[in-house]
């Protein structure tokens, strides 16, 4: 005989507690990020077989701005200068009009070089320069971004943002 499951009851209880105000929903953040691309024409690899360089950089900037909005307090602003981008995989010419991006899991992992300054008003809370990479990019789950372009780069940026701007490290 199979033991009864408690999952439906737990979900109903949590929903009732939230509705009653006993459990707080996560606080809404509204920090900002100003993302600048420094000499993008010199980047190692910032274009994709379906996207021009401008489209790739816009997608990466949007992700960084979303992270700031979700995870930084409204009183904080972040300036990020992107110094280099190397997308996951390698682009190989297939025909004259298009390249094919091949992911081999070798030395073709996504990489970025960033410089950042986190401010609260006029006060600099944290600043630095990081070389970020995801050497195991093919080993990790990207289902969350399966319908979006650049899933490996977005996961890498999420991890960097969480490690760099956690509440403990930001204060």
What whole-number distance in Å separates Cα of residue 35 and Cα of residue 29?
18
Structural domain including 159 reads 29-170
Number of domains in the chain: 1
In a domain, 162, yes or no: yes
> What pLDDT is recorded for position 19?
47
User: 117-138 burial string, b = 16+ CB within 10 Å, else e?
Assistant: ebbbeeeebbeeeeebebeebb
In a domain, 156, yes or no: yes
Query: Which residue(s) pair with 116 in the sheet?
Result: 80, 128
Helix count (H) and strand count (E) of the chain? Answer: 4, 6
| Model confidence band, residue 70 (pLDDT cutoffs 50, 70, 90) | very high
| Mean pLDDT score, 95-114 | 66
The CATH number assigned to the domain holding 156 equals 3.30.160
In a domain, 117, yes or no: yes
Q: Is the pLDDT of residue 92 over 70?
A: no
In a domain, 91, yes or no: yes
Two tokens, residue 24: 């707080």
Two tokens, residue 91: 């682009």
| Model confidence band, residue 106 (pLDDT cutoffs 50, 70, 90) | low
Q: Is 91 exposed, middle or buried (0-12, 13-18, 19+ CB in 10 A)?
A: middle
Better pLDDT: 142 or 95: 142
In a domain, 4, yes or no: no
């Amino acid at each position: 005989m199979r033991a009864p499951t408690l999952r439906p009851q737990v979900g109903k209880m949590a929903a009732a507690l939230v509705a009653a105000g006993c459990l707080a929903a996560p606080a809404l953040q509204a920090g900002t990020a100003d993302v600048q691309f420094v000499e993008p024409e010199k980047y190692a690899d910032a274009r994709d077989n379906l996207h021009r360089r401008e489209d790739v950089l816009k997608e990466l900037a949007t992700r960084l701005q979303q992270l700031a909005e979700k995870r930084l307090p409204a009183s904080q602003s972040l300036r990020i200068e992107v110094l280099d981008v190397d997308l996951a995989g390698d682009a190989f010419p297939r025909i004259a009009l298009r390249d094919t991006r091949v992911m081999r899991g070798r030395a073709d992992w996504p990489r970025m070089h960033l410089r950042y300054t986190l401010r609260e008003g006029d006060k600099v809370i944290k600043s630095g320069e990081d070389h970020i990479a995801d050497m195991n990019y093919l080993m990790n789950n990207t289902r969350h971004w399966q319908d979006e372009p650049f899933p490996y780069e977005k996961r890498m940026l999420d991890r960097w943002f969480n490690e760099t701007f956690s509440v403990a490290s930001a204060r």
